[in-house]
Amino acid sequence: MNAHYELPLEDAGYSFGFLDEYAKKEVRRCILKAISIPGYQTPYASREMPMGRGFGTGGLQLTLSLIGEDDTLKVIDQGSDDSVNAVNLRQFVQLTCPGVDVTEKTQEATLIQSRHRIPEKMLTEEQILVLQVPYPDALVVVEPSEARRKVMHGEADYSRLLVKLYEDVVRFDEITISHRYPTRINGHYVIDPSPIPRWDVPRLHQSPALVLLGAGREKKIYAVPPYTVAEPLVFDDIAFRVEDFRDANGQRIACRCCGSTVSFLDELIDDAGNITHQCSDSTYCEEQQETISARKRA
């Protein structure tokens, strides 16, 4: 977004949060139903937003329906507060919600809108995590008809999805899904938890914070309520495992900036062609570096 852009105010002006009150009320009613039926994709009338579908309009509509003047918002994209998508969305909220504070610090935020990551720092009951979802339905790979998928979801019939996972095991000796790992919520609905890496999936389980997922293009809202069972879909004899950050010698690779060996790492190739690793959560990485330099000073 152009930094000098201003909303046209010559007519009646825009209400707080850009969306009109009817749109917000509809999203709010859907959010409550989504919490009551954990993992169920509640349909809603996704509004046109002044940005393309697929740029986080679903997450943004959730955020704008939730936000109030006493909220503090953090927006992240792939773990970073400074990438284009995050900066755009944050500026849009600042433009349309006067009085709302923004932050990059995870612990200061009351609302966190995120694309493709859950912050490294454990969330609390005072926070709400909003995830942007491109493809909400985990069953779409095995059933093209939405009407039939709805019946399968209602009956909690995920046999064909399990067959798909089984085929992976037969062919590659391992389930090859890297992100959007199908996850069963409260023992019934299987969700697509948005393109978060496997690393983040266990953090949906018994999370103290409410997790809301919004798909703007697909017009669906679903939720993982706090303190709810969230189990990745697996077989009894093949356990779920997260990304392995060990090198050839079995050593855990450390972040090149902060040296953390417990965070999710991005693989980078520098100018010389060497592979290096760096924390994906930029705020976490900066805080680690500050702690280290403070310790050195002391």
Partner 1 sequence: MKSEMTMAEADIWHPAQQQQLFRSLLDAYSYPGRIQTCPAEPSLALLSALLDGQTTLSDPQDLLPESIWPKLEAQRVPYELAAFILLDGSRAPQMVPNLGTLEAPEHGATLLLRVASLHEESAGALCLQLSGPGIRQSVTISVDGLHADWIKARNDWVSNFPLGVELVLCDAQCFVALPRTTKIVLGGSA
State the residues that interact with partner 1 by CB under 8 A: 15-16, 21-22, 24-26, 28-38, 40, 42-43, 66-69, 125, 128, 147, 150-151, 154-155, 186, 188-189, 206, 210, 225-229
- Kindly name the residue from 79, 250, 255, 259 that is annotated as catalytic: 255
> Least distance to partner 1 from the beta carbon of 156, Å?
9
Tokens of 4: 């000098």
> Least distance to partner 1 from the beta carbon of 224, Å?
9
> Phi/psi of residue 131, each to 5°?
-110, 140
> Least distance to partner 1 from the beta carbon of 193, Å?
16
- Kindly name the residue from 39, 56, 59, 79 that is annotated as catalytic: 39
Residue whose CB is less far from partner 1, 5 or 22: 22
CA distance 219 to 57: 10
- Kindly name the residue from 17, 30, 59, 258 that is annotated as catalytic: 258
∠ CA 202-170-149, nearest 5°, is 60
Beta bridge partners of 80: 77
Paired sense of beta strands 220-224 and 42-43, if any: antiparallel
Q: Catalytic annotation on 285?
A: yes
Residue whose CB is less far from partner 1, 43 or 202: 43
Q: Catalytic annotation on 279?
A: yes
Residue whose CB is less far from partner 1, 42 or 57: 42
> Least distance to partner 1 from the beta carbon of 62, Å?
11
Residue whose CB is less far from partner 1, 26 or 168: 26
Residue whose CB is less far from partner 1, 125 or 243: 125
Tokens of 71: 């909220």
Is the distance from CB of 172 to CB of 191 less than 8 angstroms? no
- Kindly name the residue from 30, 79, 97, 279 that is annotated as catalytic: 279
Q: What is the H or E stretch that residue 214 is in?
A: strand 210-215
CA distances from 292 to 154, 254, 258, 262, 298 (A): 51, 14, 8, 15, 10
Q: Catalytic annotation on 258?
A: yes
Q: What is the H or E stretch that residue 65 is in?
A: helix 57-66
Q: Catalytic annotation on 39?
A: yes
> Least distance to partner 1 from the beta carbon of 174, Å?
31
Amino acid at 94: Q
> Phi/psi of residue 75, each to 5°?
-120, 130
What amino acid positions are annotated as catalytic residues?
39, 255, 258, 279, 285
